[in-house]
Structure 1
Amino acid sequence: MIVGVLNQKGGVGKTTVAVNLAATYARDGRRVLLIDADPQGSAMAWSSSRDAEPPFSIVGMAKPTLHRDLPRLARDYDIVIIDGAPRVNDLGRSAILASDYVLIPVQPSPYDVWAAADTVALIREAQVMKEQLKAAFVVNRRIARTAIGRDAADALAQFQDVPVLAAALHQRVVYAESVARGLSVIEAAPSSEAARELEALAAEVLVANEGKTA
């Protein structure tokens, strides 16, 4: 299974979602590969900041031939997560074509909802060549006890072929704190609310892809 974490808008938390999803699956005993397909190399930088090896493999592949090069690497893993690039259409298209499932992080902001159309357009374009490709939105950095996250999900309903996942990630300090320590949330705070949210997201993505529970 190859999951692309992608959004043509920057600053939506793609790397945070990708790294923490990879760590969650690895904690569950799966062989996981994280592909850093962003020229900024944020996931690679996170890996380099660690005192110990990450719990999953990580490779930098920010190139428009990703969809042709990745299948050879993916054979050795149960799950591949792609941390995609923002605002780079050739890289974005390649990452989408390489994916079985595209997860689109969206912050609860009108700007993010408006920008989502660009990513959905790329996915629909790819589905012409890859009909089995699936995609879904995940609301990221949702603010607790507000209606903003629900309003964002309602607004995203305009994209009828791209559902909004029930699992959402809230705005929590532990995400920034774990990155500063070179850790994933699952490692830094395994019993936290953030860890439980990530577990719910990981399980929902598996169900959508494989039709089975995690």
Structure 2
Amino acid sequence: MIVALLNQKGGVGKTTLALHLAGEWAGRRKRVTLIDADPQGSALDWSQQRARENGVRLFGVVGLARDTLHREAPELARDADHIVIDGPPRIAGLMRSALLAADLVLIPVQPSPFDGWASAEMLALVAEARIYRPALAARFVLNRCGARTIIARETAETLADHDPPVLATTIGQRVVFADAAQSGRLASEIDPDSQAAREIAALAVEIERLVTERTLP
């Protein structure tokens, strides 16, 4: 399974979700490779920080910020159970290549009207990719949600009637994610009993269930 986290809008938490999904699946003894397709290289930076801090590698991180990604990712997938792509913002050629590589596209959005409007451009790219990949699945995932805020509830309700639909699992705005980014660790390693760790575990399970039950796209 190749899962790509993509949104043309930056700052929606693609890298955090990509790293934590890869780590969650690796912790369940899956063979996982994360492809850093963002020229900023934040996932690669995290991996290097992790190597400096403790040297324990949970999953491989490969830099492939080029528009041949759709040809190279399937080769990597032969030796992995899951490929996770951390996609770029605002690079059309690279974005299209990531879409053509993926089985499932996750579109992280924050609970705000602006994020919903900004996703329209992303959905146009998904529709374009489906011309070549009709089975390409897509889902919104609500990220950085404040606890029980009205705007988070309203965003979820708006996306509930949307195509693509929104995943049931939402990810909160948690300080532990910032700590994880700086330390080269995961939320589940910093605090296994944290709400952040439980949310990521639930997200990983929901994604696998979608694929296993063949309810995509």
* Number of residue equivalences: 211
User: Hey, what does 2:84 align to over in structure 1?
Assistant: 81
User: Hey, what does 1:168 align to over in structure 2?
Assistant: 170
After TM superposition, the structure 1 = structure 2 runs for residues 60-209 of structure 1, keeping only pairs within 5 Å, are 60-157=63-160, 159-160=162-163, 162-209=164-211
Inter-partner Cα distance in structure 2 for 1:53 and 1:15: 20
TM-aligned CA deviation for residue 184 of structure 1: 1.1
User: Hey, what does 2:37 align to over in structure 1?
Assistant: 37
Q: Secondary structure at the match of 2:38?
A: coil
Inter-partner Cα distance in structure 1 for 2:154 and 2:4: 25
Inter-partner Cα distance in structure 2 for 1:95 and 1:185: 26
1:56 partner letter: F
TM-aligned CA deviation for residue 159 of structure 1: 3.2
Summarize deviations over 1:16-60 as a string: whole Å, max 9, x none.
Answer: 000000000001110000000000000000111112233011100
Inter-partner Cα distance in structure 1 for 2:56 and 2:96: 30
Q: Secondary structure at the match of 1:103?
A: strand
For structure 1, the residue ranges without an aligned partner over 5 or more in a row are none
Tell me which stretches of 4 or more aligned residues in structure 1 moved more than 2 Å.
154-160
Q: Secondary structure at the match of 1:137?
A: strand
Q: Secondary structure at the match of 2:135?
A: coil
1:108 partner letter: P
Percent of paired sites with the same residue = 53
Bigger Cα displacement from structure 2, 20-29 vs 180-189? 180-189
Q: CA RMSD in A?
A: 1.2
Summarize deviations over 1:135-167 as a string: whole Å, max 9, x none.
Answer: 00000000002121121122334632x010000
TM-aligned CA deviation for residue 182 of structure 1: 1.2
For structure 2, the residue ranges without an aligned partner over 5 or more in a row are none
